[in-house]
Amino acid sequence: MDTMRWNGESLELIDQTKLPVEVKFEQCKNYIQVAEAIKGMVVRGAPAIGITAAYGIVLAAKEAIQMDSRSFYAHMEKAIQELGSTRPTAVNLFWAIKKMQAKLDQCKGQANSEIVKELEREAQAIHKDDLRMNENIGSYGNELVPHQARILTHCNAGGLATAGYGTALGVIRAAHEASKEIKVWVDETRPLLQGSRLTAFELHQDKIDATLIADNMAGYIMQQGLVDLIVVGADRIAANGDVANKIGTYSLAVLAKEHDIPFYVAAPTSTIDMELESGKYIPIEERDKDEVRFVYEQQIAPKEIKVYNPAFDVTPNNLITAIITEKGVCRAPYTDTLGKLFEE
C-alpha cells in the first residue's frame, strides 16, 4: 500500500489517523495542507515526513509560478520555514528540506516554470531513493535474523513510515521473504497506538505471523525467553550512535540488555545527524496532553489531570547492538563506524 501518491498537481497521503478502521487518502493541494498533515500525524515516520515535505516545497513553487522572481523566492522562504517547523525531532525532515533548498539555490536565475520542474524531479528522486534504501536495509538486516526468530518491534517503522517497505519492518519483511518462518511481537505503542493500528495492520496485510501485546508486557515475554531479537526504527541518530525513537524504545533497550537480547536499530543514513555530538542535543517533541487523556475521542482520564507527553526518548549507544543502514551494518564505536558511512 502506498504511503503517498504524487500526481503532478497534488499529493495524496494515506490518512494514518484513520487506520486500521478506514483506508482513506487525504489530498494536499498546497504546502499549508502538507504542513498540517505532518503536524496532525496524517503522515508520520521520519523518512515519510521528509518525502512529504519535499513535495510540499514543490506545491509551494507551483503556487508561486506566476509571481515575479523576488516574490517567488519570498514565498518559497516562507513555505520552507513553515514546513521546517512542523516536527522538531525527525531529522529526515530537515535533510529533505536541505536537499530541496540546495536545488532551489542551484536554479536561481531560471524561469519559475523551470524551477518547478527541477524541484519536482528532486522530490521524486528523494521518494525513489528512500524505497531503494529501505530495500537495502532489509537485505543487510536479514543477515542478522536467525531462522524461526521471534522478533519484537515497537511503534511503526514500516511502509507507512517511509516510501514503502520500511526500515525495521523492512528487516522483518526481508526475513519473511527469505522463508525464515519468523514470528513478530508488536508493541501497541501508547499513546497513539502506532503499533496496534499501523504495524499490526501492515503485518496482517503481508500475512506475516504477528502477535499484538500491550507495551507493559514486553519485559515479561523477554523474561519467558520468547524474544530472540528486537528491531526498531529511528527518528534521529546522533554522531555517537545515540538514537531518538518513539517513546518507550529506551525501556525496551534496557530490558534487552538485562536479558541479553540483541537490540538493533534500522534507519537510512538520512536519519543520522553527524552535526549532533550525542543524543542529549536531540530536541524532543512534546505533544498534546489529550493524546494521553483520550483514546479515539474516548476520555480515559480526568480532564484536569496533569500530563507529560514526550513523543520520543533517547536510547544511549551502549544499549544498541548494531545500527542497520542502507550502506551496511554499523557497530560500536559508532563515532567511527557511522562517520565512515559519509566518506566518499
pLDDT tens-digit profile of 128-183?
999 999 999 999 999 999 999 999 999 999 999 999 999 999 999 999 999 999 99
- Contacts for 119-126: CB closer than 8 Å, 24+ residues apart: 119/57, 119/58, 119/61, 120/8, 120/58, 122/54, 123/6, 123/51, 123/54, 123/55, 123/57, 123/58, 124/6, 126/50, 126/51, 126/54, 126/96, 126/99
**Total-model pTM:** 0.95
- Percent residues over pLDDT 90 in the chain: 98
Which residue type is seen at 189?
Answer: T
- Give the homologous superfamily in CATH for domain 141-340: Translation initiation factor eif-2b; domain 2 (3.40.50.10470)
* Orientation of helix 168-177 relative to helix 112-142, angle to 10°: 60
Of 235, 242, 273, 313, the active-site residue reads: 235
| In the chain, ranges of CATH 1.20.120.420 domains | 4-134
224: pLDDT strictly greater than 70: yes
CATH of domain 4-134: 1.20.120.420
- Is 206 one of the catalytic residues? no
CA 37, CA 32: separation in Å to the nearest integer? 9
Strand pairing report for 328-330 and 322-325: antiparallel
